[in-house]
């Protein structure tokens, strides 16, 4: 940036070009920020406004199902069932999109709290599934962090509910939550002994609506991990997974530790 190219009279002609470059880059970044904001509000508005017409499709489909099941022919019963299932799935997806776009717009201030408290709230929200599957959830003591507590609670809740959902048949689900201080960040881990993930999907599972199983095999809109990723990125951290297919997965996320002392 400091290089000044001079012409043969000693005038700095290269400097002008550099200034123009910086201005263009700044404009490009502004443009990117503007279009990101626009995209976010677009996602928010569409998902919010789509809820109303969808609600009416879903409720009339359910009304048809209740009043006319068995009174038309069996094809009609099937069609109505597909309609109800489709509308229900779409409702979950739209709600998921809305939650996803709210990560940026409805985030709270960062405060100092103990990550173990956030984990405990998540565990109490998941108590009925933990009891139902007789899961052994084993957390290490966790550090104090500076973050959005309700979003970090959500992170634990999404990761642990996945660990419960993608458990292996016939063995007790075991979930270990831990944290390590490395350089200027904390690295949290949520480890399970579930079905695992094939390596080629290790990045794609964090995309919106990406699921690795057929509809009906496991419940879910495929947006839980995308929300986790967005929350962690809002905190300046990273999210990744290490997994062995058929053995289990460990999800890691980092949170900068610089403000905690």
Q: What are phi and psi of 245, to 5 degrees?
A: -60, 125
On the CB side of 120, CA atoms within 13 Å amount to 8
* Shortest distance (Å) from residue 115 CB to ligand ADP: 19
Of 221, 232, 239, 255, which lies in the binding site for ligand ADP, with binding defined by CB under 6 A?
Answer: 221
By the rule CB under 6 A, 173 interacts with ligand ADP: no
- Rounded CA-CA distance 131/151 in Å is 24
Q: Which is nearer to ligand ADP, 193 or 254 (CB)?
A: 193
Q: Tell me how far CA of residue 63 lies from CA of 56, 58, 59, in angstroms.
A: 10, 9, 6
Of 44, 100, 139, 222, which lies in the binding site for ligand ADP, with binding defined by CB under 6 A?
Answer: 222
Q: Write the CB contacts of 134 (distance below 8 Å, at least 6 apart in sequence).
A: 172, 173
Round to the nearest angstrom and report the end-to-end CA distance of the chain. 37
Chain residues 1-60 in contact with ligand ADP, contact rule CB under 6 A: none
By the rule CB under 6 A, 223 interacts with ligand ADP: yes
CA angle centred on 116, ends 114 and 120, rounded to 5° = 125
Place of tokens 């490395």: 182
Write the binding mask 109 to 148 for ligand ADP: x where contact by CB under 6 A, - elsewhere.
----------------------------------------
Range list of H helices, the chain: 14-68, 74-105, 115-125, 127-132, 149-165, 224-234
By the rule CB under 6 A, 237 interacts with ligand ADP: no
* Shortest distance (Å) from residue 185 CB to ligand ADP: 23
* Binding range to ligand ADP, per CB under 6 A, among 113-121, 127-135, 170-178, 220-228: 220-228
Write the binding mask 185 to 214 for ligand ADP: x where contact by CB under 6 A, - elsewhere.
-------x-xxxx-------x----xxxx-
Residues that bind ligand ADP (CB under 6 A): 162-163, 166, 192, 194-197, 205, 210-213, 220-226, 249
């Amino acid at each position: 940036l400091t290089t000044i190219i001079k012409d043969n009279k000693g005038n700095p002609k290269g400097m002008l070009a550099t200034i123009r470059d910086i201005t263009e880059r700044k404009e490009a970044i502004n443009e990117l920020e503007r279009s990101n904001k626009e995209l976010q509000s677009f996602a928010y508005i569409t998902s919010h406004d789509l809820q109303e017409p969808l609600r009416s499709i879903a409720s009339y489909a359910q009304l048809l199902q209740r009043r006319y099941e068995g009174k038309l022919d069996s094809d009609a019963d099937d069609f109505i069932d597909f309609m109800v299932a489709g509308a229900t799935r779409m409702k979950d997806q739209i709600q998921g999109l809305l939650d996803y776009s709210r990560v940026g717009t409805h985030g709270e201030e960062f405060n100092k709290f103990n990550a173990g408290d956030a984990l405990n709230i998540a565990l109490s929200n998941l108590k009925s599934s933990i009891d139902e599957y007789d899961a052994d959830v084993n957390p290490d003591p966790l550090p104090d962090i500076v973050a959005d507590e309700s979003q970090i609670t959500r992170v634990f809740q999404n990761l642990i509910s996945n660990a419960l959902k993608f458990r292996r048949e016939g063995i007790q689900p075991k979930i270990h939550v831990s944290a390590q201080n490395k350089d200027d960040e904390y690295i949290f881990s949520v480890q399970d002994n579930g079905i695992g993930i094939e390596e080629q999907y290790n990045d794609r599972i964090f995309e919106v609506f990406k699921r690795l199983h057929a509809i009906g095999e496991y419940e879910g809109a495929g947006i839980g991990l995308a929300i986790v990723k967005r929350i962690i990125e809002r905190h300046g951290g990273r999210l990744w997974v290490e997994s062995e297919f058929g053995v289990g997965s460990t999800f890691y996320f980092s949170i900068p530790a610089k403000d905690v002392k």
